[in-house]
């Protein structure tokens, strides 16, 4: 029984350290800002090869945020040599993850979405993938934090709910796709 209790304490401590590390390093934005151009990622899951000098990069993109919905991480782009595919999931539970295929501005994309709660906030992580004209896979990721509107009194609670309802991650993805340029 004592070993089980020690194991449980260690697991909780590891989870707390991971959450602190994951969210403590992330900048927040209070107003519309320019997201700086990001260097293409050099690491992805082990099943996907990523070139050292990918042929695409994300240029500066202006994305709106507010005190009710803000970006925890700047949008990032990874370029993989694998081809596009989308394994749609039948679950609609954001905590377990949800994969859907959709069309954004005439382009077919695969969206993976997962949500995780913390004290007073919900974190939404989005991953969009689509095929590049040259056949590579373009993978965009960003994380958004939403505060819990019920923590506010009126009229702030209504403003909060309206701001969150107006936020459309697909429009963010559309901007990211539109601002992806082929490197020389």
Please, which pLDDT band fits residue 23 given cuts at 50, 70 and 90? Answer: very low
Whether this model's pTM surpasses 0.75:
no
Are the C-beta atoms of 127 and 140 separated by less than 8 Å? yes
- Residue 159: is its pLDDT beyond 80? yes
Reply yes or no on whether the pLDDT at 168 is more than 80: yes
Query: pLDDT tens digit string along 53-69?
Result: 456 666 666 666 778 88
Q: Are strands 98-104 and 69-80 parallel, antiparallel or unpaired?
A: unpaired
Query: How many other C-beta atoms lie within 10 A of the C-beta of residue 152?
Result: 15
Pull the structure tokens for residue 37. 């151009």
Whole-angstrom Cα distance, residue 125 to residue 144?
A: 6
Percent of the chain with pLDDT over 70: 61
- Per DSSP, the residues of 3-69 read HHHHHHHHHHHHHHHHHHHHHHT----SS-EEEPPBPPPS---TTS---SS-SEEE--EEE---SSE
Closest CA to 143 of 112, 119, 174: 112
Tally DSSP H helices, then E strands, for the chain: 3, 9
């Amino acid at each position: 029984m004592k070993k089980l209790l020690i194991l449980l304490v260690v697991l909780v401590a590891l989870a707390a350290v991971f959450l602190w590390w994951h969210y403590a390093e992330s900048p927040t934005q209070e107003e519309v800002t320019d997201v700086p151009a990001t260097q293409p990622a050099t690491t992805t899951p082990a099943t996907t090869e990523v070139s050292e000098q990918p042929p695409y990069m994300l240029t500066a993109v202006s994305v709106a945020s507010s005190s009710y919905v803000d970006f925890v991480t700047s949008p990032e782009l990874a370029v993989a040599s694998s081809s596009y595919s989308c394994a749609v999931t039948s679950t609609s539970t954001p905590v377990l993850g949800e994969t859907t295929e959709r069309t954004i501005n005439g382009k077919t994309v695969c969206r993976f979405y997962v949500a995780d709660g913390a004290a007073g906030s919900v974190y939404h992580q989005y991953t969009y993938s689509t095929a590049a004209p040259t056949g590579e896979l373009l993978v965009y990721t960003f994380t958004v934090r939403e505060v819990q509107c019920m923590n506010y009194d009126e009229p702030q609670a209504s403003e909060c709910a309206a701001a969150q309802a107006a936020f459309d991650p697909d429009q963010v993805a559309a901007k990211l796709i539109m601002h992806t340029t082929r490197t020389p």
